[in-house]
Chains A and B, each alone.
Chain A
């Protein structure tokens, strides 16, 4: 009888341990850029990181937040990059997110994102919208110029099972943000979009 009592906790522990192991691809792997070590190096492995200079501050992904989400509706797709803006000396930071809305692109599943492979999007284009949020409050943005480049989008299989789509590329723009001219430069992202961070509004 005692052994039966032990079986359930043991099975529960094994199940939880196994679940945590399947999350390995969701973790962020920050490999510093050689020239700008505050930013992640550009990669195409689905390391779930992004970073850019926000004038002289740094907008970068963190371990605490899910760095990327894709929201698809019947009219547009939104790519959300969520992290923090901080000074180089790490003395202060604020939660910040960047949202790119692409009108007319409506993926129904994360595998459809490969259509963006090797695609450059002019952020000044009327079909594109950029939003900046700090502490979840939207800040008015007027894009002056810029681009979002999906250099490589891959469908990733692990042990022959389709797991996620990896979006890798660059972004940069100049804008009037909160009535101030701001340059976002050297932006790069390498994020995995799977069933847990792909949202479809049917």
Chain B
């Protein structure tokens, strides 16, 4: 009887492990990703804007400047899993476009849909320009590095995971578009653009997230995840808007490229 119990215990302990051993392989994937981020920001430099106009991020305001900062990105990434399938390490290359906007809109008839920008001040001559909106777009080429921790072990069609990530971005290009109240003032767009601070050449961000992966084991899969918080650590050199924190979502499509048995 004792022998039978020992055998049963050994069976219970060993058989599942044998089963998992048979399925454990070091998985590698390549894929494409895309996503969006929305970032809470404040206006970097109010020195050239007339009035005590508070700014609200992504807000609805009748008397204040509204600022909005968001980004979209797309890239290619590869992922390699640890032998226990719990952790996936991702790295790749990512193209991002950050869009920063400040503007004033009229939601009621008695308000103005422009603000005054100090264009020139020389001696006793001062010039304002009426501006409705300033849009600054900055493109980056970056390196994302991410770690995913899968809560259930494969194989499952639906795998939940949490993630930590970092991205190092290098600025490729910055463009500024100014919407004037009077279209005849468009000839001063470049001058205004030159007055506005440009983002730094390098930016670095940390983020976390959680999501799920859908797909048959070792077949193409899709991952959908929410990212929060997204924190830019180099916000001091951020251009038109000073980012505070943000969040967003990301989509991944992956295909397995290589499997090695243990």
Chain A contacts to B: CB under 8 angstroms: 13, 17, 20-21, 24-25, 29-31, 45-47, 114, 117, 152-160, 166
Contacts and interface: CB of A to CB of B under 8 A. Distances in A.
Contact of A114 (B109, B121, B124, B184): B124
Contacts of B51: 29, 45, 47
Contacts of B116: 24-25, 158
Contact of A159 (B50, B126, B181): B181
Contact of B128 (A17, A20, A47, A157): A157
A47 B112 CA distance: 17
B26 interface: no
Given A21-B112, A153-B124, A166-B126, A159 B185 contact: yes
Interface in B72-126: 109-110, 112, 116, 121, 124-126
A158 B129 contact: yes
A154 B121 CA distance: 9
A-B pairs, 10 with minimum CB distance: A154-B126, A114-B124, A158-B128, A31-B52, A157-B127, A159-B182, A21-B112, A17-B109, A156-B126, A29-B51
B17 to A, nearest CB: 70
Interface in B211-235: none
Given A158-B127, A166-B126, 7 more contacts: A13-B109, A17-B110, A29-B52, A114-B124, A117-B124, A156-B128, A157-B127
A32 B129 CA distance: 25
Question: Most chain-B CB neighbours within 10 Å: which of A159, A160, A166?
Answer: A159
A10 B83 CA distance: 73
Chain A interface mostly: mixed
Interface of B: 50-52, 109-110, 112, 116, 121, 124-130, 180-182, 184-185
A17 B112 CA distance: 9
A25 B115 CA distance: 10
Given A17-B109, A24-B112, A160 B127 contact: yes
B64 to A, nearest CB: 13
Nearest to B124: A114
A115 B130 CA distance: 27
A158 B182 CA distance: 11
Nearest to A116: B124
B128 A155 contact: no
Given A31-B52, A114-B124, A158 B130 contact: yes
Contacts of B124: 114, 117, 152-155
B50 A157 contact: no
B130 A154 contact: no
9 contacts: A47-B51, A154-B124, A154-B126, A155-B124, A155-B126, A156-B126, A157-B127, A157-B128, A159-B181
A160 B116 CA distance: 13
Contacts of B50: 29, 45-46
Contact of A154 (B109, B125, B184, B185): B125
Nearest to B118: A45
Given A29-B52, A31-B52, A45-B50, A157 B126 contact: yes
A166 B126 CA distance: 9
Nearest to B51: A29
Contacts of A25: 116
A142 B65 CA distance: 47
Contacts of A158: 116, 127-130
Contacts of B109: 13, 17
A31 B51 CA distance: 8
A13 B108 CA distance: 13
Nearest to B129: A159
A168 to B, nearest CB: 11
A192 B122 CA distance: 18
Contacts of B125: 154-155, 157
A152 B124 CA distance: 8
A159 B192 CA distance: 13
A123 B128 CA distance: 33
B122 to A, nearest CB: 10
A18 to B, nearest CB: 10
Contacts of A159: 128-130, 180-182, 184-185
A157 B185 CA distance: 13
